[in-house]
Structure 1
Amino acid sequence: MAQFDYSRMQATAARLLGRFAQGEVVLRRAGAPVADAAAPWVAPIATEAQAWTLNATIKGVSQKFIDGDLVTASDLEVTAAAFADAPRVGDVLIVDGQARTVLSVSRVPAAGPVVAWTFVVKG
């Protein structure tokens, strides 16, 4: 049986999400503090912050994600093409200059190479 070509699927997702991208979408991650084990008395030094410009579409959050506590009907659902890293809960998504916090992350497909990311951000 032939192997499925996920790289072709990734390219298709990137092309379509790039074509229908909505505004400027940037995912930003603050640098994590790193302590020096040899000198624990020295304050931890923050690593450099990271940022990725995403090919993404944004819409109101789907009913299936709404739990009434963390995710509410006013939140947004973002679908983004695969990029160099993975979004994490707590990252900041900047949509047309407005910062929003990532609440949940799902990969598409659930197993195998990532083709796209679906994540919910605070609206």
Structure 2
Amino acid sequence: MATFDYTEMQATAHELIEEFGQAGTVKRVTPPDPVYGGEPIVTSYPATLVPMAYEARYIDGTVIQTGDMQIYISAVGLSIEPTVGDVVTANGADYAIINGDPNKYDGITPVVFIVQGRIGGSRA
């Protein structure tokens, strides 16, 4: 039985995001040391992404709110996996990631990261 090559799907997703998307960043905030204190450290990772507004039929006011964005982030060249607590900069605004799916169909290779971003949630 042959195995499916998810890196090919990842490359296709990247090409589409690169063609129709924009440059953005994923920011991760590392909290200060609990013993020594200090300032939080913000690290920005360049990303290629496509932000899209949710269709009205999906907005329920609780899980998905007006203004939330569904953001497709290319996994190619991104050294981190975007996760809840990170902040995505797209369309000139900061969106806090409140939900996400790495789309690892084989459990290893992320084809594309799809996250739910909420504006006004910048922690950086």
The offset of 1:98, in angstroms, is: 1.8
5+ residue gaps, structure 2, are 120-124
Q: Which amino acid aligns with 2:16?
A: L
Any idea what the Cα deviations from partners look like across 1:53-74, whole Å, max 9, x if unmatched? 2221111125686442242132
Q: Which amino acid aligns with 1:3?
A: T
CA contact (8 A) 1:62 1:77 kept: no
Partner of 1:74: 67
Q: Size of the alignment, in residue pairs? A: 116
TM-score normalised over the length of structure 2: 0.77
CA contact (8 A) 1:109 1:115 kept: yes
Partner of 1:28: 27
Cα pair distance change 1:65/1:29, threshold 3 Å: farther
CA contact (8 A) 1:31 1:46 kept: no
Q: Which amino acid aligns with 2:83?
A: R
Task: Report the aligned-residue RMSD.
Answer: 2.3
The offset of 1:28, in angstroms, is: 0.5
% identical equivalent positions: 24
CA distance in 2 between partners of 1:33 and 1:118 (Å): 28
The offset of 1:117, in angstroms, is: 0.8
